[in-house]
Amino acid sequence: MEINGLEIYIFPLAFILVYYLYSKGKKEKAVATQWQENVEAGLTEPATLHPLIDPNKCMGAGSCIPACPEDAIGMIKGKAVFIDPTVCIGHGACMTSCPHGAITLVFGTSKRGMDIPKVNPNFETNVPGIFIAGELGGMGLIRKAATQGAQAMESISKLKGSNNTLDVVIVGSGPAGLGASLTAIEQKMRYIVVEQEEALGGAIFQYPRNKVAMTAPIKLPIVGEVKMFEVSKEELLEFWQGVIKKNGIKINYHERMEAITKTDKGFIVKTTKNSYETKAVLLALGRRGTPRKLGAPGEDLPKVVYRLIDPEQYRNMHVLVVGGGDSALEAATTIAREPGTTVSISYRSDAFGRGKAKNREALNELESQGKLKVMLKSTVKQITKDKVMVDYQGKVVELQNDAIIVCAGGILPTPFLKELGILVETKKGTE
């Protein structure tokens, strides 16, 4: 049988096409399975700014998939789909990579709204002189929060002068607060930073030990571009400490802001330690606000805390972690790996629907190894010096206990913002 020149090319091309379609179909099937598993587990609600994909505009280019550093987007039936919402941190690279404008970034969903203070492009609220940047404004991504803090401070530096003691009071020493502080120094402004915690870092400080805190470079005033990839909490905090020391940033730790009062010249910011007259205020607070309490007798005992700082301090102890989000899962798993610990995790629902897949997998693995006890559909009823009573699926169980870590989220400062007259919008999947 004689093969002509055209057939020499047709057969290899046909083979390549068939293999491509087979591989594509197999990959899309795996993506669809992952998406279905997340839906069944209730993992459909993103925590912050996230992509909204318009299927009518999506042409299946797929450029958004490799652009997403969290692998939160996949392709199903030729269309991009937001398959893993809980891992999204609002990076935004997916939107910029889409050649057809099919992706917009939004807050909240139709099922779960998200309260966001209304701010102008210069980060000033409807109350002149009060600015908001970072996590409170919906931006939890570290490098973007730091950028917002710097940009907000640049806007504050352009405000007309006053004879107040300070140009600005910065509330919060997380990424937004530190970005703002560096800009204040650069602009030779009179500023002060108040931080309610005993150390810097905002929400970063509350991460479990060795948690990856940042995965992309960051550009800071005075410091310039800092190239960081897969940086742990400890490495990032050490870097921040170095920046603070080198640039002489002034931070008043363990000083909580209590009230802001409008005056003819600006504002008076009252804290637990002092009162400050200032031209402007930058709220660089986290969204956690005041920790949510259990409401159980004995919760005021010293052994009950609301964040994990160092798992090592719980070695050879009986520990109960309360909560169902990533902070609770990470606290339980990291403590369970410490020598001699007995760890239980209590959650009121029947599944850890808010936790990332990798955290749920780690939890299941440790449970199968007998290093951790999972108590779903349970609530804490009473806490004593050396025990804790838990209502576990309708039956009260008594556990030996040396420490309790409550990771039940926080009460958002929305009422405080509204008292100041700041407009707050409830976003439900809108820009």
β partners of residue 170: 193, 282
- Do residues 396 and 389 lie in contact, with contact meaning Cβ atoms separated by under 8 Å? yes
At the second CATH level, the architecture of 5-106 is 2-Layer Sandwich (3.30)
Instruction: Report the run of H or E that residue 51 belongs to, with start and end.
Output: strand 50-53
Q: Which two tokens stand for residue 292?
A: 């949510």
Q: Which residues in the chain come in under a pLDDT of 50?
A: 1, 208, 210, 212-214
Q: Which fold has domain 292-409?
A: FAD/NAD(P)-binding domain (3.50.50)
Domain ranges of the chain: 5-106, 114-289+412-427, 292-409
Contacts 24+ apart (CB under 8 A), 364-369: 366/332, 366/333, 366/336, 366/337
> What is the C-alpha separation between 72 and 405, in angstroms, rounded?
30
- Do residues 129 and 264 lie in contact, with contact meaning Cβ atoms separated by under 8 Å? no
pLDDT in tens, 202-244: 555 555 454 544 456 677 888 887 776 666 667 777 888 888 8
pLDDT of res. 213: 47
CATH number belonging to domain 114-289+412-427: 3.50.50.60
pLDDT of res. 290: 67
Same fold, 114-289+412-427 and 292-409: yes
pTM for this entry:
0.67
- If one counts every other C-beta atom within 10 angstroms of the C-beta of residue 190, the result is 12
Helix (H, G, I), strand (E, B) or coil at 188: coil
**What is the layout of strands, in order, in the sheet containing 403-406?**
304-305, 403-406, 318-322, 342-347, 372-376
Q: Name which of 186, 171, 163 is nearest 131 in CA terms.
A: 171
Pairing outcome for strands 224-226 and 304-305: unpaired
User: Angle formed by the axes of helices 175-186 and 142-157, to 10°?
Assistant: 40
> What is the C-alpha separation between 184 and 355, in angstroms, rounded?
38
pLDDT of res. 399: 96
